[in-house]
Amino acid sequence: MSKECEICGKTKMAGNQVKRQSKWVLRRTNTPRHPNLQTVHVENEDGVMVKKTICTRCLKKLKQQ
């Protein structure tokens, strides 16, 4: 399964994992943040059903149309 939305092109983002002790920050480590991708059957322009890996934001937009 690919880790990219086939409609909007959303991929992983960088984030920080912050380790704290009481009120001080001890360490920050980089951690990847992945989008919520779903595999769904979408109708093509030709009327053929194809499988696509899309993010949930695009899935919500498709359901509204």
Q: How many CB atoms lie within 10 A of CB 1?
A: 7
**What integer pLDDT is reported at residue 65 of this predicted model?**
80
Going by pLDDT thresholds of 50, 70 and 90, the confidence category of residue 64 is: confident
State the pTM of this model.
0.73
> Residue range 44-57: average pLDDT?
93
Cβ–Cβ under 8 Å, residues 36 and 56: yes
Tokens 């002790």 belong to residue: 21
Cβ neighbours for 47, distance < 8 A, ≥ 6 positions apart: none
